[in-house]
Amino acid sequence: MITSLAVLMLVDSGAISVHDKVSKYWPEFATNGKEDVEIRHLLSHTSGVAGWDDKITMDEVCDVGPSTAKLAQQAPWWKPGTASAYHAWNFGHLLGEIVRRVTGLSLKQFVAERIAGPLGADFQIGVLEKDWSRISNFIPTPASAATADIKHGPLFLRAIGNPIPSPEMGKSLGWRNGEIGASNGYGNAYALNTILSTITLAGYEDVDKRKHLLSKPTVDLIFEEQSSGIDLAIGVPIRFGIGFALRGDGDSWVDDWLPAGRVAYWGGSGGSLGIMDIDRRATITYAMNKRSNSLIGNTASRAYIGAIYEALGVNVE
């Protein structure tokens, strides 16, 4: 979510366009059938490069330079732009390289200097050693239930199961010092809300000027549908816009617990979730340390979301 915001900020400034080819900024990427992949394809998980061809370790994923270079040499797993497959591990590698090539800043630096810092949000990509004592350790999902409710698309093992995460990975130096924009952001629900509300409230004059990270036309881009159908990795129907998934029209797996309208969302393994409800000017975030057997949202987060909308008098059925 934060990686998407970083790239959308570059779009908003005019530094890049979502319709630019990736190779305009990253020439090495234009090989093996990826010559026409555009920025919007990376932002919508439709690039065809949803993971690594070869088996890869978590330590190798954390070594961002070499692991990103490997992605540049691969052929797409399907025709780019025709379907989605959740880029669970490499979303930040691909888009972080765009940020680096355009700004000269690493994704970690960009988030610190241009997003979290100005907003006063307690959020980092990776985590500084001085903050290690504040990390809340994950309570893992019981092994017997680890994948009980997770649906599998045909690319699940290649995109999400390579590498295979472990309960101990968050304690490694490589992980804590790493820059995995898809998965090793450190923060809390309040910090996420502070950041994501810049999307929800974009264009409103009554909003603190520090929150003006995007203009309304850039937020409108988020709602330009890029794909809609069964995600090849997760195996459920997802409607993707540019940077985020979108509430559908009865054809998306979130439609029975999110209200109709301009609602964007995404989440993380274990149950975390962020919702930007543009129509109602509501930003809802949920983060936890007790993991569930869910890739995006869980029973607790959905109950929490339902209670919030009920309090707002919003019908989600």
Q: What is the pLDDT of residue 255?
A: 85
Least confident of 23-32, 125-134, 199-208: 199-208
Share of the chain above pLDDT 70, in %: 96
Tell me: pLDDT of 115 over 80: yes
- Record the tokens describing residue 157, joined without a space: 């093992």
CATH code for the part of the protein at 2-185: 3.40.710.10
Q: What is the pLDDT of residue 138?
A: 77
Cα 163 to Cα 59, 156, 225: the distances in Å are 9, 11, 30
Q: Residues 305-316: pLDDT tens digits?
A: 999 999 999 988
Instruction: Return mean pLDDT, the chain.
Output: 92
Q: Residues 155-165: pLDDT tens digits?
A: 999 999 999 88
DSSP code, position 111 = I
- Record the tokens describing residue 218, joined without a space: 């850039």
Per DSSP (E only), the strands in the chain are: 124-125, 185-186, 227-230, 237-240, 245-246, 263-267, 273-277, 282-286
Enumerate the domain spans of the chain. Answer: 2-185, 190-311
Predicted TM-score (pTM) of the model is: 0.94
Query: If DSSP states are collapsed to H, E and C, what string results for 115-170?
Result: HHHHHCCCCEECCCHHHHHHCCCCECCCHHHCCCCCCCCCCHHHHCCCCCCCCCHH
Closest CA to 263 of 222, 203, 308, 310: 222
